[in-house]
Amino acid sequence: MTGHDDTANEPAEARGFALYVGIDEFHALADGTTLTEMAAALKALVQRIAPSAQTYTSIAVAPSNAGGRDLDVVKRSSSQQVPLHSPNAGARVGAAAAHLGGGAGSAGSGSAAGGDDSETVVIDLSRQRMVIRGQVRMLTSMEFELLQYLVENEGSAVSRRELVGVLWSDESGDQASARTIDVHVRRLRVKLGAEADLVRTVHGVGYVFNRGSNVRIRPRRDAPQ
């Protein structure tokens, strides 16, 4: 009998791997997706090709003034996770980190960056985006400008003529019409989904933004105090 541990001579066994994806939320939006959608797609892919595998996904959140590569942000967060609701979790979301583990069992839980659970809708005018139930909704620049103008005139009915003048104030303005506004409002409501009633029709006038108790507005940085 020797004093050596026999397990030291045992061959190593691979038990899984980690995949780090480095992309910030703004580039993801430009590519037509979101970090949560990417993480969910990776989890679904693994479950399809290896049903017995366990999966875990997380999103690395970095302070808005953090430097460095997105991939490095995610690697660091694998050992020191920043709480999603930490005061230091600013505008810059570093990346979606999909940690794919081995072994049998059900899929692990994931987490996504978002606002307070009680806030169904967050309209962020400073970052020009809208988040509904934690999911970023893709809006065209015209749709967002339309929504922003209605939000900034909350409670007041804005006529179609006024919207045409504001949104098409350049040389193309004479090509826009009340029907054009109606088309953009219809598309905006589709993206609002169950929250479509936020933009109400004022018959014979135009539209009004109807804020509910579950809506949070983050003003523009240059907005008057």
Nearest to 131 by CA among 192, 51, 55: 192
pLDDT tens for 14-71 read 888 888 888 877 777 767 777 778 888 888 888 889 888 888 777 777 765 666 787 7
Judge if pTM exceeds 0.75.
no
Q: What does pLDDT average to over the chain?
A: 74
What sign for the dihedral angle of Cα 25, 28, 33, 36? negative
Mean pLDDT on 79-87:
43
CATH number of this structure's domain 121-218, picked from the four choices 1.20.120.450, 1.20.1250.20, 1.10.10.10, 3.40.50.300: 1.10.10.10
Strands 121-124 and 215-218: parallel
Q: Indicate if the pLDDT at residue 157 is higher than 90.
A: yes
Show me where the domains of the chain are located. Answer: 7-101, 121-218
pLDDT tens for 160-210 read 999 988 888 654 544 567 788 899 999 999 988 888 999 999 998 999 998
